[in-house]
Amino acid sequence: MTLPLIIQLRNTYPELKITVLTKPFFAHLFQHLEDVRVIKAEVKTKHKGISGLWVLAKQLHQLDIDSIADLHNVLRSRILCGFMKILGHDYYRIDKGRAEKKALTRAKNKVFKPLKSTHQRYADVFKKLNLPLDKTYEVSPQQLKVSKNVLSKLKLDKSKKWIGIAPFAAHSPKQYSLQKMKEVLSALEKSKHVQVLLFGGGKREIKKLAALAKDFENCKNVAGVFSFSEELQLISNLDVMLSMDSGNGHLAAMFGVNVITLWGATHPFAGFAPFGQAKQQQLLPNLEKYPLLPTSVYGNKKIKGYNRAIDDISPGDVVKTIKEQLY
């Protein structure tokens, strides 16, 4: 979710030298930004634990950094910023609004109102650095070149509309049932002008996606078939992405792709909607039927009667919204 704001920061202040510290896996997200330097935090090896963070702090100190924006605000980043302070560097930290989010998700005395978006919270940190951003910031669509390896394996028809679907989420209350997703895929298959690409994550998901793709002629599974960099190439070239409240929606949004999200236990009011997406692209269960929603910020809490609230969203509404974004 940081990437759209970093792009805006780069565009607003072209003389600024930006360094991003992230885990090795996420370094791929910034590879198309040639003027943004990426430092990999090897938190499982040389940067592990407090002593490892001290090693990392000394490494960062050598880069002649003027100021630090802590966009994470977790124990590890707090310790690291403390070390950087000792070495003479100022830092500013994101306010995650934890108390507000607790009020939004609690069952009793719920305060149901839209909170500041996470993207705006990032912008607030940059403002503290005297680097204010225009509130109308946006990301221009950017299509990465798809490698010959990907094109040869998938044999995609460029004349068709490419629809990405990521049907899984980290927690089951955020995941649309496979039966309802099959109804969506069945409706999409009736159109001869679309190509569906399935995205996912772990080994169990990959098997399910591969089995799902076999049931539909216009559907191909890309999970576990290509590298993460190659998946990003495909995502950047999508016409629309359908995802749960999950990472794939954010990956598509950072390339300016239209993203449709399905929300179950969580809610856009918590501030985690994909960047730059309209309200009508965020499909929700009937809140009169499920008044306790959202039940948590991350969808990891299971509450009786609410585990399958996401299935209240009809496949027909999902397909209708996809078509509205395509044509």
pLDDT digits over 96-114, tens only? 999 999 999 999 999 999 9
pLDDT digits over 16-42, tens only? 999 999 999 999 999 889 899 999 999
**pLDDT recorded at residue 204:** 83
Confidence bin at 77 (pLDDT 50/70/90): very high
Q: The whole model's pTM is what?
A: 0.93
Determine the Cα–Cα distance for residues 313 and 262; give it in Å rounded to an integer: 8
* Mean pLDDT for the stretch of residues 257-269: 97
pLDDT digits over 116-161, tens only? 999 999 999 999 999 999 876 677 788 999 998 898 899 888 889 9
Determine the Cα–Cα distance for residues 176 and 83; give it in Å rounded to an integer: 43
pLDDT digits over 163-179, tens only? 999 999 989 999 999 99
Return the CA Rg of the chain: 21
CA-nearest of 142, 150, 173, 181 to 33 is 142
Q: Which amino acid is at 72?
A: H
Determine the Cα–Cα distance for residues 241 and 235; give it in Å rounded to an integer: 8
Q: Is 88 exposed, middle or buried (0-12, 13-18, 19+ CB in 10 A)?
A: exposed
Q: Could you tell me if 244 and 174 are in contact, meaning their C-beta atoms sit under 8 angstroms apart?
A: yes
CA distances from 313 to 48, 88, 242, 244, 248 (A): 43, 52, 13, 12, 19
Determine the Cα–Cα distance for residues 201 and 169; give it in Å rounded to an integer: 9
Mean pLDDT of the chain: 94
**pLDDT recorded at residue 302:** 87
Q: Could you tell me if 122 and 272 are in contact, meaning their C-beta atoms sit under 8 angstroms apart?
A: no
Element (H, E) at 282: strand 282-283
At the fourth CATH level, the homologous superfamily of domain 159-326 is Glycogen Phosphorylase B; (3.40.50.2000)
**pLDDT recorded at residue 34:** 87
Confidence bin at 201 (pLDDT 50/70/90): confident
Determine the Cα–Cα distance for residues 275 and 258; give it in Å rounded to an integer: 10
Q: Which position has the token pair 């039966």?
A: 179
CATH number for the domain running over 3-93: 3.40.50
Which residues fall within 8 angstroms of residue 98, CB to CB, at 6 or more apart? none
**pLDDT recorded at residue 136:** 64
* Runs of H (alpha helix) within the chain: 3-12, 49-61, 75-86, 98-105, 118-128, 148-154, 178-189, 203-214, 228-236, 247-253, 315-326
* Mean pLDDT for the stretch of residues 303-317: 95
Q: Which position has the token pair 């209350």?
A: 173
> Does 203 score more than 90 pLDDT?
no
Q: Express the helix, strand and coil content of the chain in percent, nearest 5 each.
A: 40, 15, 45
Looking at the chain, the whole-number percentage of residues with pLDDT higher than 70 is 99
Q: Could you tell me if 112 and 269 are in contact, meaning their C-beta atoms sit under 8 angstroms apart?
A: yes
Determine the Cα–Cα distance for residues 266 and 299; give it in Å rounded to an integer: 5
Confidence bin at 198 (pLDDT 50/70/90): very high
**Which residues pair with residue 38 across a beta bridge?**
20
Domain layout of the chain by residue ranges = 3-93, 159-326
Do 3-93 and 159-326 agree at the fold level?
A: yes
